[in-house]
Amino acid sequence: MKSNYVAVDLGATSGCVLLSEFKNNKFELKEIHRFPNTIIQMNGRYYWDIYYLYQQIIKGLKIIGNQKISIQSIGIDTWGVDFVAIGEDGHILRSPYSYRDPYTENTPNDYFLKFSQSELYERTGIQIMNFNSLFQFYASKKNKDSALENADKILFIPDALSYLLTGEMVTEYTIATTAHIVNAHTRKLDEKILSSVGLEESDFGRFVYPGEVIGCLTEEVQSITGLSNVPVIAVAGHDTASAVVAIPAQSTNFAYLSSGTWSLMGIESSKPVISTESEKLNFTNEGGVNNTIRVLKNICGMWILEQCRTEWDGVDYSTLIDEANKAESFQCFINPDDPIFANPKNMIQAIYTYCKQSGQKIPDNRGQLVRCIFESLAMRYKEVFSFLKEVSEHPLETLHIIGGGSRNQLLNQYTANALGVEVIAGPSEATGLGNIMVQVLVNNQDETLESLRAKVYDSISLDLFKPADYELWELAYEKYLLIVEKNTNI
């Protein structure tokens, strides 16, 4: 028996519509439509084009409809924190701001004059990042943002797109946890936190968890795409939550690294990890499927290299990796999470500045600069992994790297070297696959998350990286820590 599912997977730089055929206990993914997702800079602000994203989703669904393929269901996942304001008449009030917009800079400090930082962390377990939705709400209210002031409902990006397809408004749990407004203990919206920014639960759509049905395609969407009244499922709406679903783990003794524009390293836990130490290290507790908590750390991942590539006219990754592999090791390090790398006008110059400020050799060629980025990311991964080992309910024997960055074999090897554990890389399309897996769980009561992960393991080819030169990497790690401590931006 075979079934077809559609996953809409939107990242901060690109999106795609995927078709998955689940048959003979295996997943087969087919890319139907891929498209760029770019930030629009206009009148001093940064926006996402929600109408364009909807149009591209419709285009992908129409391709499927033209092929007369019978679809079981559709699921949408996206990046976190950003949201759409909906008016009383049901229409979008303006395109949503991007989390890259600087309007929330220093907002947390202002907010914490009103609401205790320690209480906020105890309630949510969410790391402090200035662009979290909570701080966007606070800044928007303070600036008397017309869209938020006139909003009847606030919908996070995957929920807004599901609304445009179905006419139903929901707030999906995993995406809502990225907003800093969900209580980690009750796993529901926190009224006290909402009240601190002038909001209440009724300002949001119906609260749902992964696996619930949002609604079916509207008659208008059916007419445009040629599809029937296909149900849209609330999958793990946050793309990282979807990616974690697809980890092909064979035991519970693993950590994961979702590698892409952002690197997100974490573990699955049955309960939130909220302590003085986790707060100090700015770890986060985000919602997962099957009542799990994703204890993780956001790390500024391939964003740094992607920004460098724009200054090198988009030179291909294979060339950069080859040049990095030939460069001398451990010449300089950066802290990928230093604020200087958040959104600089010139990323290469930002790296030079960091190296100069920390008294290091400045990279003198492109290969050396890329190697600096890769080695620094591996060191940062080791730093985060060390803490995860302390708080995990299970020993951590393996690191699973998923997402687009899992194809970067050089960085994968560096990571294995730094951590001193086996690294298993793949699947690269973990987010779309995890999206599909939640839909399969809804439609097939005989399956469990564990059984589907075993099927993912059998369906795809995985790459294994064993640690090498561990003692050399340990010495280099000590150097990295000293540099991070020394730099005045830390």
Residue-wise pLDDT tens digits, 78-123: 999 999 999 999 999 999 999 999 999 999 999 999 999 999 999 9
pLDDT on residue 296: 94
Return the CATH fold of 249-426+460-490: Nucleotidyltransferase; domain 5 (3.30.420)
Q: What is the largest CA-CA distance in the chain?
A: 64
Q: Where in the chain is the domain with CATH 3.30.420.40?
A: 2-237, 249-426+460-490
The whole-angstrom separation of Cα 383 and Cα 413 is 16
**CA nearest 182: which of 134, 128, 230?**
134
Q: What confidence tens digit (pLDDT) does each residue in 343-374 have?
A: 899 999 999 999 999 999 999 999 999 999 99
Task: Mark whether 239 is an active-site residue.
Answer: yes
CA 327 → CA 44, 372, 417, 440, 483, distances in Å? 40, 9, 17, 46, 20
The whole-angstrom separation of Cα 123 and Cα 100 is 26
**CA nearest 72: which of 231, 303, 248?**
231
CA 7 → CA 57, 211, 232, 260, distances in Å? 10, 14, 10, 18
In the chain (490 residues long), the average pLDDT of successive 10-residue segments reads 89 94 86 96 95 98 96 97 98 96 95 97 95 97 96 98 98 98 98 98 98 98 98 97 94 93 93 93 94 92 94 94 97 95 94 96 97 98 95 95 94 98 95 96 92 90 95 97 76
pLDDT on residue 489: 45
Buried b (16+ CB within 10 A) or exposed e, 240-260: bbbbbbbbbbeeeebbbbbbb
pLDDT on residue 490: 39
- The helix or strand, by DSSP H or E, that contains position 331, with its residue range, turns out to be none
pLDDT on residue 474: 97
Q: Given phi > 0 = left and psi -120 to 50 = alpha, else beta, which region is 419? A: alpha
Give the CB-side neighbour count of residue 223, counting CA atoms within 13 A: 3
φ, ψ of residue 247 in degrees (nearest 5):
-65, 125
pLDDT on residue 66: 97
Is residue 60 within 8 Å of 8, Cβ to Cβ? yes
Dihedral sign (CA 223, 227, 230, 235):
negative
pLDDT on residue 402: 95
Range 2-237 has CATH code 2.40.100.10: no
pLDDT on residue 23: 80
- Kindly name the residue from 239, 313, 316, 337 that is annotated as catalytic: 239
Structure tokens, 63:
């391709």
Structure tokens, 389:
């080992």
> Which residues lie below 8 Å from residue 363, measured CB to CB, with a gap of 6+?
331, 332, 351, 352, 355, 369, 372
**CA nearest 74: which of 427, 430, 432?**
432
The whole-angstrom separation of Cα 460 and Cα 462 is 6
Coil, strand or helix at 378: helix
